[in-house]
Structure 1
Amino acid sequence: MTEKIFASVDNEKTIIPDDNWYGFKKIPFHVTPDSQMVFNHRRYEEAFSALQYGIFQGKGFIVITGEVGAGKTTLVRHFLSMIGDSLRCAVIFNTGLEPRELLCAIAEDLGIEKDRIAGAGIKEIIDAVNAVLLEEFERGRMVAVFIDEAQNLSIESLETLRMLSNLETETEKLLQIILIGQPELQKTIAKKELRQLRSRVAVTYHLMPMDCEETFAYIKHRIELAEPDRKVEFTRASTELVYKYSGGIPRVINIVADQALLIGADIQSETIDKDIVETVIEGFAHLDSPPDSSGRISIMRIVIVFIAFCVLLFGIFRAVNLKKVEKNIDASVNNEERAEIISPLRKLLTHYNITASKDFDAMKLSAIASTTGLKLFNVKLSSASIERLRLPALLIPGNAILSNSEPALITDIKNGVWKIESLERGELSLEISMQNVEVSYLVPDRPYFARILRRGMRGEDILSVQKNLFKEKLLLNEPNGYFGNGTVEAVRKLQREFFLREDGVIGPETMLAIFKVSFEKKK
């Protein structure tokens, strides 16, 4: 049999047999991670946002966990493919290393010559790494170390990483350390011997499996990206069976779907029905356990997580003082009355002169916004900051204010009273006593929304900010991409206008203020 070879985004060879009946250009269900085949389901997007936030906000230690095959390595590869030159990275896959070996691996991945650290002790290696970090800091670039399969690290190696995290300036961490591993990693970090490291973990996220609807969309997405010559689809019943067997774990889904397509090709069927999937699963039944069965989520674990979530939600609700001031649409309102309410999502897009169809939903928001140069920017701000910015913002589903399942739109805030529009609860006016609220803004897809900017940095994101400040006559000098004294003063002027802290640093609030004075004027 002759074979066609295609290069994937991860520089691996994808082999497609010439007699492939469906005519796929790529293998749709490969078990190895491929950032070109990413499916952005809700939990994956949350994990990506947590990773992005932790790194570019300089949080220091970030922990991402998930079951075997949940997509952790894909997440890291996808993130690394998206960041460009704004971040210098070291990626460690071999975690069966002693402390000194681990430091050497990090140093070499950061470009330190092997001869320079040969025979050096731990302190000398850390000093060499510190020199690289300071050099990158002067260039305005952040540095991150990604450690995959981190659950295999010894306590001694984790303590060495904690020592490495001590490298910092007076104001920020020089190194971001991202630990990626299976749930056992959380148990290891919880040990008494690692209490100092545990206190430094600022961002954690557990990547959960997909639900049944996401599994259906995932299979369809992968098939479309593989570009078949023939139409091929999994029926709803067959997808439900795949989900039931896999527990929503992507790697197990891939294994089952791949075998199902093999059978489908043999019988030349464009439809993968329940009988075909049952045949695949029966084949796995002869094994002691299904492929990557550790990826299955037990009912007890789901119950425990659900109870913990309810307790947390109850605690948050006690911190919120909700006082209804104006009209509130009762939950018993009929569907016909609900249809008369304009979708908050459509109203937000209308604010930016973007038209959306009536069946538009939250899943399509990012895609529609991106066609006009906008993107969603998730940020946690104080109520006072949100009021000062006076930009339409979304309360994400499940927030502590409404506990809504659909996004709600903040249309105005004045003297602590929030005006909110929700499909589920109608138009509300609420007094909010929470200090910090997580909201989403539609912002321009610009590089300066990727990291905190401050004096001494260089880059395209600095240049982009300077052009906006220059256009608003806040910056007197010509934009040059260097964050010098002139840019600091221009930023302080802007912060003064919005009653923000005048520190000359461009953080989330100042980024949104720049958006307010520049991009919004084009509407």
Structure 2
Amino acid sequence: MYGEMMQYYGLVKDFDKTDYFETEAFKGVLGSLEIAVLSGGIIALTGIVGVGKTTIIRHFQDSLKKKNQVIVAKSLATDKPRVNINTLYTALFADLPTAKEFKVPTQAEIRERKLQELIRKINKPIAFFIDGAHDLHWRTLIGLKQLIETIEDAKGTLTIIMVGHPKLGNDLNRPAMEEIGARAKLFSLDSWGQQKQRYIEWVLEQCSKPKTPIHDIVAPDAINLLAERLITPLQICHYLTLALIKGATTGTKPVNVEIIEAVLSPDLNTLEPKLARQGYNTMALCEHLNARKSEIRAYFNGQLPAARVDEFNKEIHKLGIL
């Protein structure tokens, strides 16, 4: 049905294959990030699931490479809970200019000294990006602080840009993480507000055949409803696709409010998905609330004793979610 939907509405590419959509808020964050990168240290860039963190960071990395003021490095390891400082040293060495026969030393003392030698030769600031940083172990975070100090001792400048869910910012603000959090600059990608409607229209323009009136695809009141009920670009692209598939199935053009209502999940903004967007899945909640998985499930299902519910609510309220 997907192909039929694309043909029926005159679409030429998927919604998630569009170019970078820049809002004024994102532009401001990028400007501040660029200034912060040149001064070194730890940066935490946070945003809820689907707000566009990966897209904006890719755009930012491309911009830094074009200006050629800093060396851009990044960690590609995906299993972040298992990533340790040794993994990140390997990633950093992999993106620094080295001789072809260079091998990363396995002994920590030699590795650090080789890194300092390399930093002196490069004589250029380094921006090191770590996506999914909300899942890094606290020992790894402390190791990153020490990595920065190692490079500073060689008169170099390293900025570590940790990208993650709002959980990352909350963790860094905990008193127990003061060693890292007090040194970090925190930036947040907030929800899009009034830009959501324009984003939907822009996506339709980008993905449809030239000169196709977007309101022939989705009616204005249906666009308004999507903007009102949804939060992130990820959600918008997902539910817009579902609506168009249903519209093509029923032969409805343009997609109307009734179709949007039919495809939107009734549980879209209940507590569990809200917490998940902030980076608090079941495992994270077990750790944060000092609870068992069965208690978390009972909490979401309304089956937890009242006293325990109050305890959970108080702790979640501190996260700024309730």
Task: Describe the SS at the equivalent of 2:188.
Answer: strand
* Per-residue deviation, residues 352-379 of structure 1 (Å, max 9, x unmatched): xxxxxxxxxxxxxxxxxxxxxxxxxxxx
**Which of the pair is proportionally richer in helix?**
2
> Which of 57, 61, 64 is the matching residue for 1:80?
61
CA offsets 1:352-407 (integer angstroms, 9 cap, x no match): xxxxxxxxxxxxxxxxxxxxxxxxxxxxxxxxxxxxxxxxxxxxxxxxxxxxxxxx
Aligned match for 2:96, one of 95, 102, 110: 110
1:74-107 Cα distance to aligned partner (Å, 9 max, x none) = 1101112223133321122432312222222222
Report the AA paired with residue 108 of structure 1. A
Cα offsets for 1:228-259 (capped at 9, x unmatched):
2543333343233223432x222111111121
Q: Which has the higher contact order (CA 8 A, sep 6+)?
A: 2
The SS at the match of 1:40 is: coil
1:272 is paired with a residue whose SS is coil
| Letter of the 1:184 counterpart | K
Shift of 1:150: 0.6
2:229 pairs with one of 245, 250, 262: 245
Code of the residue aligned with 1:102 in structure 2: it is L
The match for 2:27 among 45, 55, 68 is 45
Give the CA deviation at 1:48.
1.6
Deviations 1:463-502 (A, max 9, x none): xxxxxxxxxxxxxxxxxxxxxxxxxxxxxxxxxxxxxxxx
- Structure 2 gap segments, 5+ residues each: 279-313
- Amino acid corresponding to residue 122 of structure 2 in structure 1: E
CA pair 270-111 structure 1, distance change in 2 beyond 3 A = farther
Q: Which moved more, 1:65-74 or 1:227-236?
A: 227-236
**What is the aligned length?**
274
SS in 2 for 1:271: coil
Q: Is the 8 A contact 1:47 1:205 kept in 2?
A: yes
Q: CA deviation at 1:136?
A: 2.5
How far the C-alpha of 1:110 sits from its partner, in A, is 2.8
User: CA offset at residue 210 of structure 1?
Assistant: 1.1
Tell me how far 1:108 sits from its aligned partner: 2.0
Shift of the 262–126 alpha-carbon distance from structure 1 to 2, 3 Å rule, reads farther
**Aligned counterparts of 1:220 and 1:239: Cα–Cα separation in 2:** 8
Shift of the 244–188 alpha-carbon distance from structure 1 to 2, 3 Å rule, reads same
1:153 counterpart = 2:136: yes
Contact 1:136 1:143 in 2 (8 A): no
Indicate whether 1:90 and 2:77 are aligned.
no
Shift in CA distance, 20/133, structure 1 to aligned 2, threshold 3 Å: farther
Q: CA deviation at 1:157?
A: 0.6
Matched, 1:60 2:44: no
The equivalent residue for 1:127 is: 113
The match for 1:174 among 148, 153, 157 is 157
- Counterpart of 2:136, as a letter, is L
1:71 maps to 2:78: no
Q: CA deviation at 1:191?
A: 3.6
Amino acid at match of 1:275: E
Query: Helix, strand or coil: the match of 2:7?
Result: coil
Q: Deviations over 1:333-362 (max 9, x none)?
A: xxxxxxxxxxxxxxxxxxxxxxxxxxxxxx
1:218 aligned partner, one-letter code: Y
The letter for the 1-side match of 2:84 is E
Greater share of residues in strand: 1
1:165 paired residue among 121, 144, 148: 148
Q: 1:130 is matched by which residue type in structure 2?
A: Q
C-alpha spacing 1:287/1:61, structure 2 compared with 1 (3 Å)? closer
Show the counterpart of 1:489.
none
Q: 1:154 Cα shift?
A: 0.8
Q: Specify the structure having the higher radius of gyration (Cα).
A: 1
Residue deviations 1:13-39 (CA, integer Å, cap 9, x gap)? xx97796223323212x2xxx6x5222
Secondary structure in structure 2 of the residue aligned to 1:90 = strand
Pairwise CA distance, 1:161: 0.6
- The separation in 2 between residues aligned to 1:62 and 1:286, in whole angstroms, is 34
Distance across 1 between alignment mates of 2:182 and 2:140: 17
1:274 is aligned to: 257
The answer (yes or no) to whether the contact 1:252–1:291 under 8 Å persists in 2 is no
Distance 1:50 1:189 in 2: 20
Alpha-carbon distance in 1 for matches of 2:60, 2:187? 15
Q: What CA distance in whole angstroms lies between the structure 2 residues aligned with 1:114 and 1:97?
A: 25
Q: Provide TM-score, normalisation by structure 1.
A: 0.46
- Kept in 2: contact 1:70–1:207 (CA 8 A): yes
User: Do residues 259 (structure 1) and 242 (structure 2) align?
Assistant: yes
* 1:273 to partner: Cα distance: 1.9
SS, match of residue 208 in structure 1: coil
Structure 2 counterpart of 1:25, which letter?
V
CA distance in 2 between partners of 1:253 and 1:181 (Å): 20
Q: 1:184 Cα deviation (Å)?
A: 1.2
Aligned sequence identity (%):
21
Distance 1:18-1:241 versus aligned 2 partners, 3 A rule = closer
Contact 2:6 2:12 in 1 (8 A): no
Distance in structure 2 (CA, Å) of the matches to 1:207 and 1:288: 19
Q: Structure 2: how far apart are the matches of 1:114 and 1:132?
A: 14
Amino acid at match of 2:138: I
State the alpha-carbon separation in 1 of the partners of residues 186 and 35 from structure 2.
11
Structure-2 separation of matches of 1:270 and 1:290: 34
For the 8 Å contact 2:74–2:91, the answer to whether it is kept is no
Any gaps of 5 or more consecutive residues in structure 1? 2-14, 306-523
Contact 1:16–1:25, Cα closer than 8 Å, also in 2: no
Please report how far the alpha carbon of residue 71 of structure 1 lies from its aligned counterpart in structure 2 after TM superposition: 1.0
